[in-house]
Amino acid sequence: MASFSNITEYEQFVQAFYRQSGLDLNFYKENQMKRRINNFMTNHGHKDNYGSFLQALRTDSKLYDAFFKHLTINVSQFFRDTRLWDILREKILPELLRLKPSLKIWSAGCSSGQEAYTLAIIMAEYFPWAKYSILGTDIDVNVLQQARNGVYEERDFVSTHPALVEKYFTLQGKKYLIKDSLKKNITFREQNLLTDPFEKGFDLIACRNVVIYFTDQAKDLLYKKFYDSLNPGGILFTGSTEHLFGKDSLGFKQIYSFFYQKTLS
């Protein structure tokens, strides 16, 4: 397996890839990121030769897309962690809608759109009277295109009740197409969470299973930006392994496991 002989070599790789892609790997945990890079290089015939690998990334768009996707870990499914979506439906959204009839929602790091459409399904199914808009953002333009197309496979619905799949998707061959009625309230946009500016005024931000590979410094930066983007009383919804340590100093209070509210004052 390929290995970095010293920290300088890794830093040189990170700097070169940043110039090419705009993705700063310094925000990711170094040991885990090194393993991901090494595994990819070995599996694609570039063992120990970082110069040739970088050159190949510049000239081979398919290799570049595959490497970018490999680094950004685009794995998702509808209603992943069902128990947490139940809390959102039964506790969080009713309280938000009690305060205002229209919600501005953001799926941050939305991958190929499963989370954003899960939010739309919940709103349509359980709160059909409410107005809402959903923004889905991701750094990977290829998964965003899939999100806009709304085309999925059976494996994406492991955690989804069959009745919801039948109601909100159209089966064509072996593919499941999201119905246009759910697309109308969703916008997908390219965004680097760590370097790009954020919109303001969100009532709910779902950022789930995105920051697990980030450094602590990157996490603090991101959560501070999320805090600034939420309305007072707004909710940050994290993944089932992503505890928000230092939440009090950031201005959040935990109201349920993995649900954090921006303080009202």
- Whichever domain contains 199, its CATH number is 3.40.50.150
CB under 8 Å to 179, separation ≥6 — which residues?
168, 169, 170
Q: What is the mean pLDDT of residues 92-118?
A: 95
Q: Are residues 219 and 97 in the same domain?
A: yes
Q: What is the mean pLDDT of residues 215-242?
A: 90
CB under 8 Å to 169, separation ≥6 — which residues?
152, 176, 177, 178, 179
* 2-11, 33-42, 60-69, 175-184: which is most confident: 175-184
Alpha carbon of residue 182 to chain centroid = 19
Q: Are residues 154 and 135 in the same domain?
A: yes
pLDDT for the residue 75: 60
Quote the number of domains for the chain: 2
pLDDT for the residue 160: 93
Q: Are residues 151 and 52 in the same domain?
A: no
Whole-angstrom Cα distance, residue 5 to residue 191? 33
CB under 8 Å to 162, separation ≥6 — which residues?
none
Nearest of 205, 181, 184 to residue 193 by alpha carbon: 205
Mean pLDDT check: name the lowest of 48-62, 101-115, 216-230, 237-251: 237-251
Q: Are residues 146 and 107 in the same domain?
A: yes
Residue 94 placed within a domain: yes
Nearest of 212, 222, 229, 220 to residue 249 by alpha carbon: 220
Alpha carbon of residue 217 to chain centroid = 18
Mean pLDDT check: name the lowest of 48-57, 75-84, 142-151, 199-208: 48-57
Q: What is the mean pLDDT of residues 189-201?
A: 95
Question: What share of the chain has pLDDT > 70, as a percent?
Answer: 93
- Is the Cβ–Cβ distance between 250 and 225 less than 8 Å? no
Residue 77 placed within a domain: no
Query: Is residue 5's pLDDT more than 70?
Result: no
Alpha helical stretches, state H, 162-229: 162-168, 180-183, 216-229
User: Tens digits of per-residue pLDDT, 42-70?
Assistant: 888 877 677 778 888 888 888 887 887 77
pLDDT for the residue 14: 83
Q: Are residues 93 and 66 in the same domain?
A: no
Query: Is residue 1's pLDDT more than 50?
Result: no
Find the domain containing 15 and state its range. 7-72
Residue 205 placed within a domain: yes
pLDDT for the residue 44: 81
pLDDT for the residue 137: 97
Question: Residue 104, exposed/middle/buried by CB under 10 A (0-12, 13-18, 19+)?
Answer: buried
Q: Are residues 207 and 86 in the same domain?
A: yes
Pick the residue with more confidence: 142 or 232? 232
CB under 8 Å to 42, separation ≥6 — which residues?
1, 2
Whole-angstrom Cα distance, residue 100 to residue 110? 25
